[in-house]
């Protein structure tokens, strides 16, 4: 299953509207015979890719899949049919398919005499490669990660408003890797006017990544037509609102949204309960001063503090990356 999760991670961001799924086929001796991840929409699902690679070795073997195999005729045939045609004896999956149209795969496999087990590394999958897709299935909204860089005292800019660069090159490269698989990056007009960011996904050599997220500017002020964010390296949407929900409605066809705005927009999203994950890059730096990473989050007293839970802590170069999810 860890191998299957690796396959899913590798195709994340390329499978919309399908979920990024990974699959591994073991032959009847338990040896890996084929691996695969979901291909772009209209092309093969993970199971089919792995089965093709396994060929005749799939017969009598085991399919290990991050999501319950689909039982649904979409642009491609049901994965359950492909597994049955290949003659696999057992299917192991992590997470059940919450989509009623595609669900029922496990039952059909069981009815056909295949040994089915579920829930294997389910938390690693539902908190990992499938996190954003599952959130969208559950809520109908894209999943929002608020990402910020700050000094150890929680300042996201120096007193004069300059913030490039608080964190080091390794942290920035990490952010660019995340952008390259995200569907949209959202900032407020304040960030555009003060930093003039480009908000593209770049490789470490400075060239553009193959896939660029939609850039989104939120706010009522005009931004200059010369702004970097309006260059032709990616598409840009300007949304003249202060309502975070309206922003997400405009992005309702997306799954993975990164909020990279300044303290004003971040506060508005948190107050609206629309931040699903926090990624904080903290530098071993002190800035002090008035510009905090986030403005008012609607907490008048400590008993009403918004509680989160760390779900990942890593060092990235000289900085620390904290990942938090709602508690």
Closest CB 209 distance from ligand NAP, rounded Å:
20
* Cα–Cα distance measured from residue 275 to residue 247, given in angstroms and rounded to the nearest whole number: 13
Nearer CB in complex with ligand NAP: 181/185: 185
Show contacts with ligand NAP in window 196-235 (CB under 6 A): 218-221
Q: How many chain residues touch ligand NAP (CB under 6 A)?
A: 28
47 carries an active-site annotation: yes
Show contacts with ligand NAP in window 11-40 (CB under 6 A): none
**If binding is defined by CB under 6 A, does position 265 make contact with ligand NAP?**
yes
Binding residue for ligand NAP, selected from 74, 190, 289, 317, defined by CB under 6 A: 190
- Token couple for 65: 């899949």
Question: Between the CA of residue 128 and those of 7, 63, 87, 191, what are the distances in Å?
Answer: 12, 20, 30, 29
Which segments of the chain are extended strands (E)?
Answer: 22-26, 32-37, 62-67, 90-95, 115-117, 143-151, 184-188, 214-218, 236-239, 256-259, 277-283, 308-316, 319-326
Q: Which stretch binds ligand NAP (CB under 6 A): 39-47, 62-70, 126-134, 189-197?
A: 189-197
90: β partners: 62, 115
Question: Between the CA of residue 212 and those of 65, 84, 208, what are the distances in Å?
Answer: 28, 38, 8
Site string for ligand NAP, 119-158 (x = CB under 6 A): -----------------------------xxx-----xx-
Residue 242 marked ligand-binding:
no
CB 244 within 8 A of CB 234: no
State the catalytic residues.
Answer: 47
The footprint of ligand NAP (CB under 6 A) covers 148-150, 156-157, 161, 163, 166, 187-191, 194-195, 218-221, 242, 260-265, 268, 291
């Amino acid at each position: 299953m860890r191998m299957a999760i690796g396959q899913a991670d590798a195709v994340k961001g390329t499978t919309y509207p399908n979920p990024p799924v990974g699959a591994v086929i073991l032959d009847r001796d338990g040896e890996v015979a084929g691996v695969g991840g979901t291909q772009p929409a209209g092309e093969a699902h993970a199971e089919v890719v792995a089965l093709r690679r396994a060929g005749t070795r799939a017969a009598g073997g085991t399919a290990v899949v991050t999501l319950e195999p689909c039982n649904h005729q979409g642009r491609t045939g049901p994965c359950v049919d492909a597994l049955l045609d290949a003659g696999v004896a057992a299917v192991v999956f992590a997470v059940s398919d919450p989509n009623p149209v595609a669900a029922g795969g496990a039952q059909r496999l069981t009815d056909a005499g295949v040994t089915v087990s579920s829930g294997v590394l389910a938390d690693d999958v539902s908190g990992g490669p499938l996190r954003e897709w599952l959130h969208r299935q559950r809520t109908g909204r894209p999943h929002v990660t608020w990402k910020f860089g700050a000094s150890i005292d929680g300042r996201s800019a120096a007193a004069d408003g300059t913030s490039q660069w608080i964190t080091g090159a390794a942290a920035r490269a990490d952010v660019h890797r995340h952008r390259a698989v995200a569907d949209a990056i959202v900032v407020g007009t304040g960030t555009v006017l003060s930093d003039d960011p480009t908000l593209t996904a770049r490789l470490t050599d400075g060239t553009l990544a193959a896939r660029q997220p939609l850039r989104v500017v939120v706010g009522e002020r005009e931004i200059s037509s010369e702004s970097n964010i309006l260059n032709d390296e990616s598409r840009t949407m300007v949304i003249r609102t202060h309502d975070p929900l309206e922003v997400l409605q405009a992005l309702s066809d997306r799954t993975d949204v990164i909020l990279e705005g300044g303290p004003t927009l971040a506060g508005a999203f948190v107050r609206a309960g629309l931040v699903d994950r926090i990624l904080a890059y903290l530098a071993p730096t002190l800035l002090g001063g008035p510009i905090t990473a986030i403005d008012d989050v609607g907490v008048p007293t400590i008993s009403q503090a918004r509680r989160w839970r760390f779900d990942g802590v890593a060092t990235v170069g000289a900085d620390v990356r904290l990942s938090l999810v709602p508690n």
